[in-house]
Chain A
C-alpha cells in the first residue's frame, strides 16, 4: 500500500503507471469500495507472461544472493502430441477427440448451453483416475458439460481406445470451475448490469478515459460460486443449484479491479452481491 511497494516484475513504465494510479485512486479506493474498489497495488500480470527476458531480469534484481541459481543448463521438453497410452498428460489431440466422441453421442433435446442453444456447455476434460492403469492401458477421459436446461453437471466417460462413451453421470448442486467461455459471458453480464457501475467507473479511471464495453478489454479469471461450500451464508442461496461465477478482474496490462463481491448467475442471467 505504500510507496515502497515496488514490483520488480513489471516494466518501468507499467510500474510507474501502477504507482500513479495508486496515488491518485487510493483515497477514492475507500470510497468506491462499496462498488468495485480499484486498488492499484499490483502490477500487470501480463508483464511476467511476456517471456523470459522480463522475468529473468526481475529475478536477478530481486534475488542478488542467489548467484548460483539459474546458471545450470536447463532442458525443455515439448508438450506430448497425438494419441497416447498409459499414464501421462492429455494431449490436445486427445482432448479434441474425447470431446468429439462425447458430443457425437448427442444430448437430449431439452439440454441447453449457457447461451441457451440446444446442447450442453463444454467445461473441461481430464484423465480418469485409475490406480490399476499400466503402460498399455487405453486412455479414458472424463469430459464435463453443464446442461443449463436442467442446471445439471454431465460427465461423459470416454474410452479413447474404443471410441465409445462408457458411461454418463449427472448431478445437480455441484459446480466445477467455469470455462473460459462462461467466464467471458459472466463478465459481459456484469459489464451491462447496474451493479457493474463500479467496474465501469474504475476501468475508465484506470485507462484514462476509455469506456468498458467488452470482456475482451479485461484479463479475467472465473471462479465458480456455490453457497453450499462457504463457511457462512452469502445471501445468494440459488448459487449452487444455479451456475454462478465470480471474477478476478484486471485491466489488460493494468491494475486489478476488485469484482469479487459480485456473483453472476449464468442460469438466470442476474448479478448479485455477496454481503
Chain B
C-alpha cells in the first residue's frame, strides 16, 4: 500500500510538469490524431446551445466535453458554456461561461511599429479556411464572418493523443505484479487567422484528465519590413546584414467562469515560502490569501491562483476549483496593461478586450484591463491571463516560420474525488490508507 501512495503523491507533485507536453506539442500532425471516431459525437445534449451545433466529444477514457462556439470579428474563436463530465459524474460540470482571446499586442523592439491584432484588425475578421489536411480525422465547420461577408471554414474540432496519462508498476489483490498504464487524449478545437504575413492558430485542448490548455501559435513569416540594428535585431540570412527585428507577442485571454453553473465564485491566491528547517529538509509553508477585491497580480516563485466554486463540491466534500497553471511568460513592461501576469475583475459585459476595448457602453471607464482593476468587490470574477513571448528571430524562423506557441492551462483541483482516469481496480484508494 505504501508503494501505491507514494506513486500517487509523486504524480500529484509532478502534475504541472506533466501538463507541459500538451502545450508545446503540435497536436495537429500526430499520427494518432487520425484515430477512428475522432469526429464530434452526435449530441444527446444538442439543445444546450439552442439551434446551433454544439461541440461535444466523449474521449476514449470516458471523459466528455461539451461547449458552444462562435466566431467574433475581433475576438475570433469564442467558446461558451464549456462543461466537463468525467466518466463517473452523473451530470456535466459547467466550468466556463465564456473563454476567448482578449488581445494580441505586437510591438517591435526597434520602437518603430506596434500592432494590436485583436482590437485593430480582429481574429474573426481574418479567419481563414481550414483544409482537411489541417484537421486530420476531425470536423470542419463553416461560419459566416460579417466583415468578410463570406462563409469561412473557420473551425476545426478533432482529437489528439496526449501521451502518458499515468503509469504505475503495482500489485493486484493477489500480490501479483500488475502494471497500470494508459494513454491520454485531448479534444482539440482551433481556428486560424491570417494577419498580414503572420498566421495565428487559436487553439484549446480539453484533456480527458480535465485539464484545459489555451494556446496561440504564430507561424507564416517574420515581418518582411522590419529590419533593425545590433541589440534590436538578429541577423538572418548570410553574414551580418539583415537583422530581423525582435518583437513581442503579448497574448491575453479572458475567462468568465460559471463553476457548477454559477457565476458567483471565489478567487484564492496561494504562496509557498521557506519556514525554517526540519529534520531532513527545509520546511515550506503554503498560505492562502482570499482575493475578495479586483486584483492585478504578478507571478512569483511558487505563487498560483484558483477560482473556487460556491455551488459545487466533489464527493469528498471539497469545493470544486480550477487552478491557473502558468507557463513561462516575459511580460511586456512598456504598457501598464501588459505589466502584470493576471488580472481578476468584476464581470462587465462591455469589458471584452484587454486593451483597445472599444465598446461604447464602457465609455469613460478606460479601454484596458489595468484601468478596470480598481478595487471593486469580486462576486462574479473574470480572469485575464497575460502571456508574453519576446521573439528574437533566428535563421530557422525563415519562411514558413516554425510555429511558436504560448499559453497557459486550467487544471481541475478537487473537481472529482480522484482523477477521472483512475483505473477501476484502484478506485477505492481514496485518502490515506487505514
Contact = CB atoms under 8 A, between A and B. Distances in A.
Interface stretch (A54-62, A104-112, A184-192, A203-211): A54-62
A9 B146 CA distance: 27
Contacts of A127: 70, 72
Contact of A136 (B50, B137, B359): B50
Interface string A126-137: 111111111111
A87 B48 CA distance: 9
Interface string A203-238: 000000000000000000111111011111000000
Given A55-B133, A171-B360, A174-B360, A125 B146 contact: yes
B34 A223 contact: no
A83 B352 CA distance: 25
- Residue among B35, B140, B400 having the largest count of chain A Cβ atoms under 10 Å: B400
B238 interface: yes
Contacts of A62: 400
B51 interface: yes
Contacts of B70: 87-90, 127
Contacts of A133: 80
10 contacts: A70-B132, A74-B132, A80-B52, A85-B51, A87-B52, A131-B97, A175-B120, A179-B147, A224-B119, A232-B334
Contacts of B31: 66-69
A126 B33 contact: no
Interface of B: 28-36, 38-39, 47-53, 68-74, 80-81, 97-98, 107, 111-116, 119-122, 125-126, 128-129, 131-144, 146-149, 151, 153, 194-197, 221, 224-225, 236-238, 242, 256, 258, 263, 332, 334-335, 347, 349, 352, 355-363, 367, 380, 398-400
A55 B131 contact: yes
A180 interface: yes
A170 B361 CA distance: 7
A5 B128 CA distance: 24
A95 to B, nearest CB: 5
B153 A177 contact: no
Contact of B153 (A6, A76, A153, A221): A76
Contacts of B236: 1
Contacts of A39: 224-225
Given A177-B74, A225-B120, 18 more contacts: A2-B398, A6-B399, A7-B400, A74-B139, A77-B139, A86-B52, A88-B70, A89-B70, A90-B70, A126-B73, A169-B363, A170-B360, A177-B121, A177-B147, A180-B147, A231-B107, A231-B114, A248-B196
Nearest to A153: B360
A79 B74 contact: no
Contacts, number: 283
Kindly list the 9 A-B residue pairs having the minimum CB-CB distance in the complex, ordered from nearest.
A86-B50, A88-B52, A68-B31, A72-B137, A72-B34, A171-B360, A171-B363, A174-B358, A169-B360
Given A1-B236, A88-B68, A171-B360, A95 B144 contact: yes
A131 B361 CA distance: 17
